[in-house]
Amino acid sequence: MSHSLTLRRPDDWHLHLRDGAMLRAVLPETARHFARAIIMPNLVPPVVTGAQAAAYRDRIMAALPEGMAFEPLMTLYLTEDTDPADVAAAHASGLVKAVKLYPAGATTNSASGVRDFARIAPVLEKMAEIGLPLCTHGEVTAAEVDIFDREALFIDKVLDPIRRAHPGLRVVMEHITTSQAVDYVTAADESLGATITTHHLVINRNHILVGGIKPHYYCLPVAKREEHRLALVKAATSGADRFFLGTDSAPHVDPLKEHACGCAGCFTATNTMSVLAEVFEAEGALDRLEGFTSLNGPAFYRLPANEATITLTKGDPVTYPAKIDSGDGPVTVFDPGFPLHWRVDA
């Protein structure tokens, strides 16, 4: 059995870096192992315009410690008032790599998201024309829809109609959590890809709720039944090239997670590669890890794969800090609930 594995340096196709002290704390956690990441725009206020994305990119680069390399791939937060010309200019300049659709109210800082999907048709038309991908938070938000059904309903009620109305539009269904999403992406043509998080490959809804409520496993979309987790593991480890890693690493300080109304998000940037190596090894799919973390994403986004590499080495259990200090308070690192044997040398 091979005890060492060299991969092209991975990228993270869905990441929350936040701003200010939190940005400075979490950016090195990602940059240690990852070359690039698609940066989520759900700041307060959100990153809506090309000018705001350029300013945010500059803040990210200013927060990067000396000696570390990292390329933020910027996104715009889609609102009903987004100007197609601004989107096109931000794409043409090379700054913006995707536009993010949050249905209003779906998740953290999504209040400026979309309520009336007819109003974004002109932007989607422009994006289809220029080949700029749309990243979706795929959950309907109607109060009467059960939270465990929100992703499956989004496919039927929102995503499929959008894709039919804009056949050339390239879409990434982000952080998929259900077998319905796996099936929909598998059946679709190459214009549709999907990201899968580290934590959704590891936890099901019992992890959140059995034996006491575990706020650090609460994220959105919420983890589903075990059968859905198994479908995600199968998709991620299958070698199918339209599934790729997007950690959705989403830091919140502990007091806001361990709270009567706790924030959604798992912070996985620190130990993701070690966790994924365990998941892929258990499936006998270590030879497919590089596709998932380092090849499929760049291919979908029409970017070159990284030339640099990282090496994973199997040995005695490796430890990661249980928490990192953000300056605003501690942030708990995702606990997969099993020992990690794969060390990462970047």
Give the binding site for ligand DOR (CB under 6 A). Answer: 16, 42, 107-108, 137, 219-220, 248, 250, 264-265
Give the nearest distance from C-beta 267 to Zn ion in angstroms.
Answer: 12
Q: CB-wise, 108 or 274, nearer to ligand DOR?
A: 108
Contact criterion met (CB below 8 Å) for 295 and 8: yes
Query: Which partner from the list ligand DOR, Zn ion, none does 264 bind, CB cut-off 5 to 8 Å by kind?
Result: ligand DOR
Give the nearest distance from C-beta 40 to Zn ion in angstroms.
Answer: 5
Instruction: Return the residues of window 209-248 that contact Zn ion according to CB under 5 A.
Output: 248
Instruction: Return the residues of window 88-127 that contact Zn ion according to CB under 5 A.
Output: none
Known catalytic residue at 248? yes
Tell me how crowded residue 93 is: count the other CB atoms within 10 A of its CB: 11
* Nearest residue to 202 (alpha-carbon basis) of 139, 137, 280, 263: 280
**Is position 290 an interface residue for Zn ion (rule: CB under 5 A)?**
no
Q: CB-wise, 281 or 335, nearer to ligand DOR?
A: 335
Kindly determine how many residues on this chain lie close enough to bind Zn ion according to the rule CB under 5 A. Answer: 1
Q: CB-wise, 103 or 298, nearer to ligand DOR?
A: 103
Distance between CA atoms of 204 and 224, rounded to whole angstroms?
5
Give the nearest distance from C-beta 16 to Zn ion in angstroms.
Answer: 6
Q: What is the dihedral of CA 267, 270, 274, 277, to 10 degrees?
A: 50
Question: For tokens 């990067």, what's the residue?
Answer: 64
Residue of 11, 189, 241, 248 marked active site: 248
Q: CB-wise, 41 or 133, nearer to ligand DOR?
A: 41
Beta strands in the chain (DSSP E): 4-8, 11-15, 36-39, 71-77, 96-101, 134-136, 171-173, 192-196, 243-245, 309-314, 323-325, 330-332, 342-345
Distance between CA atoms of 84 and 226, rounded to whole angstroms?
41
Query: Which partner from the list ligand DOR, Zn ion, none does 60 bind, CB cut-off 5 to 8 Å by kind?
Result: none
Give the nearest distance from C-beta 263 to ligand DOR in angstroms.
Answer: 6
Query: Which partner from the list Zn ion, ligand DOR, none does 219 bind, CB cut-off 5 to 8 Å by kind?
Result: ligand DOR
Q: CB-wise, 18 or 170, nearer to Zn ion?
A: 18
Give the nearest distance from C-beta 220 to ligand DOR in angstroms.
Answer: 4
Q: CB-wise, 193 or 342, nearer to Zn ion?
A: 193
Distances (CA, A) of 237 to 7, 129, 287: 15, 33, 9
Distance between CA atoms of 11 and 305, rounded to whole angstroms?
9
Query: Which partner from the list Zn ion, ligand DOR, none does 220 bind, CB cut-off 5 to 8 Å by kind?
Result: ligand DOR
The half-sphere exposure of 266 on its side-chain side, counting CA atoms within 13 A, is 29
Query: Which partner from the list ligand DOR, Zn ion, none does 42 bind, CB cut-off 5 to 8 Å by kind?
Result: ligand DOR
**Is position 151 an interface residue for Zn ion (rule: CB under 5 A)?**
no
Q: Left (φ > 0), alpha (ψ -120 to 50) or beta: where does 94 sit?
A: left
DSSP assignment of 36-54 equals EEEEP---SS---SHHHHH
Give the nearest distance from C-beta 220 to Zn ion in angstroms.
Answer: 8
Catalog residues that contact Zn ion under the rule CB under 5 A.
248
Residues carrying an active site annotation: 248
